[in-house]
Amino acid sequence: MFFITEVSTAVELQKLLTYLRINEWLQEDLFHFRWFFLIGVFAFSALVWCKLVDKSRLPEITLHAGLTAIITLILDEMGEELTLWEYPADIIAIFPPLSAVDLASLPMIYSLIYQYCKTWKTFLWATLLMATVFCFILEPLLVWSDFYQPLKWKYYYGFPIYITMAIFIRWMVLRIYAIARKGKEKKEI
Amino acid sequence: MLLSVTGSTAEIELQKMLTSAHIEKWLQEDVFQFKWWLLLGLFILTIALWWKLLNKTRIPEVLLYTVLTTIVMMGIDECGEELILWVYPIYLFPLFPVITAINLLFVPLALSLTYQYFPTWKSFNSAAIIIAGLLSFIFEPVLAWADFYRLLNWSYGYSFLLYIAVALIIRGAVVLIYSIAENAQRHSS
């Protein structure tokens, strides 16, 4: 009995929260300047990526971008649920938290760095630069323009996370392709 | 302006309450209970089985399919939970519960193996319909019966159509990505 009550408390709270979000989104976000701006960021990121991506390595780069998107979505949603930060504007009212950045900008930038930097050394330098730009230029800009509101968060907290993520995902994709190569060699023998 | 601030604060407060309701319920009723261990076991077993069946020489391609399906299903699952279409009464992990939702695990893994075993559109279409049927008319009712999953404003028929649509669209995307890469490689060589 208690069990059922507990679930329904969460369900009721969720109902209220979703209602509030959709309401606010309809009144203040949808078709407003900020909303078009986010759509623009999304489209621009996607376009630039399509232009720059090495078509002959498309499966590999897309896999990298996809893994980045999954991890970003999870971290971002967790941060929002823990009220570490908040996104006052969004393309769509419900999940994902900041679609334009989570699903487009971040995965596209990460995967392009992966594509251009073929050795660990260049990759690490590029990642360091990217993390610095994200933490100390981009995030303050997002806060200033009221797309992002850190609650219990500091810009530099993100710094190690951006770097760890980049290293982990590169390692993973390389590993995946190494396993495939090994499998093929075994078959040929 | 004032309205925006108030709305945003109310949202943050509600989110705080919801998250603490999730965590509290999880600590009191879920974690280390029999059903929690069962869920954990099911998780590990499923991933192990998937890895065993995965064709290692084709791992980049099949994984790309898995990653894209996971992104789409994660979006759908979270939207469904926020819109109270369904709810997961027991969580493996209380933050962003959707990532450890059993459905999110089974659907991408089952569909990716379908992708691996059925290389032509014709065979894949029939297989996808069968797998979607198994997932939505056998697997999900069993989950609902064991109370791992509760349908609130949803029916198994919707799941069925949704899974078929996702399976076909993602296959289309992966096939397209690989054909673009092949074209580009042919041009450069």
The per-residue pLDDT of chain B, averaged, comes to 88
Q: Taking CB atoms and an 8 Å limit, are A14 and B29 in contact across chains?
A: no
B59 touches chain A (CB under 8 A): yes
Say if residue B157's pLDDT is above 50. yes
Q: Taking CB atoms and an 8 Å limit, are A16 and B14 in contact across chains?
A: yes
pLDDT band at A3 (very low <50, low <70, confident <90, very high): very low
Average pLDDT for residues B5-11, to the nearest whole number?
66
Confidence (pLDDT) at B70: 92
Cβ count within 10 A of residue B181? 19
DSSP state of B104: H
Q: Which one of B84, B87, B95 has the shortest CB-CB distance to A78?
A: B95
B-contacting residues in A 100-159 (Cβ below 8 Å): 103, 149, 151
Whole-number Å distance between alpha carbons of B54 and B78:
27
What residues contact residue B23 under an 8 Å CB cut-off, 6+ apart?
B94, B95
Average pLDDT for residues B19-46, to the nearest whole number?
87
pTM for this prediction: 0.89
**Angstroms from A131 CA to nearest CA on chain B:** 24
Confidence (pLDDT) at A81: 85
The residue of chain A with its CA nearest to that of B188 is A56
* List of chain A residues whose C-beta atoms are within 8 Å of the C-beta of residue B152: 11
DSSP state of A90: -
**Angstroms from A128 CA to nearest CA on chain B:** 26
What residues contact residue A87 under an 8 Å CB cut-off, 6+ apart?
A80, A97, A98, A147, A148, A149
The residue of chain B with its CA nearest to that of A96 is B75
Helix residue ranges per DSSP H, B54-139: 59-82, 102-117, 121-134
pLDDT tens per residue across span A75-119: 888 888 888 888 877 777 776 666 667 777 889 999 999 999 999
B4 touches chain A (CB under 8 A): yes
Q: Taking CB atoms and an 8 Å limit, are B185 and A78 in contact across chains?
A: no
* List of chain A residues whose C-beta atoms are within 8 Å of the C-beta of residue B181: 55-59
Confidence (pLDDT) at B177: 96
Nearest to A151 by CA among B90, B103, B16: B16
The per-residue pLDDT of chain A, averaged, comes to 86
The rounded percent of chain A whose pLDDT value lies above 90 is 38
Q: Taking CB atoms and an 8 Å limit, are A70 and B70 in contact across chains?
A: yes
* List of chain B residues whose C-beta atoms are within 8 Å of the C-beta of residue A3: 29, 89
Q: Taking CB atoms and an 8 Å limit, are A94 and B64 in contact across chains?
A: no
Q: Taking CB atoms and an 8 Å limit, are B78 and A70 in contact across chains?
A: no
Say if residue B20's pLDDT is above 90. no
pLDDT tens per residue across span B61-97: 999 999 999 999 988 888 888 888 888 888 888 887 6
A7 touches chain B (CB under 8 A): yes
Q: Provide the Cα torsion A113, A119, A121, A125; round to 10°.
A: -10
pLDDT tens per residue across span A150-181: 888 888 888 999 999 999 999 999 999 999 99
- Candidates B59, B91, B116, B180: best to mutate against A (most CBs of A within 10 A) is B59
* List of chain A residues whose C-beta atoms are within 8 Å of the C-beta of residue B71: 66, 69-70, 73, 103
The residue of chain B with its CA nearest to that of A151 is B12
Confidence (pLDDT) at B82: 84
* CA distance readout (Å), A73 to A186, B78, B96, B171: 37, 11, 10, 22
Whole-number Å distance between alpha carbons of A104 and A47:
10
* List of chain B residues whose C-beta atoms are within 8 Å of the C-beta of residue A73: 71, 74
Whole-number Å distance between alpha carbons of A24 and A7:
26
A-contacting residues in B 71-100 (Cβ below 8 Å): 71, 74-75, 78-79, 81-84, 87, 89, 95-96, 99
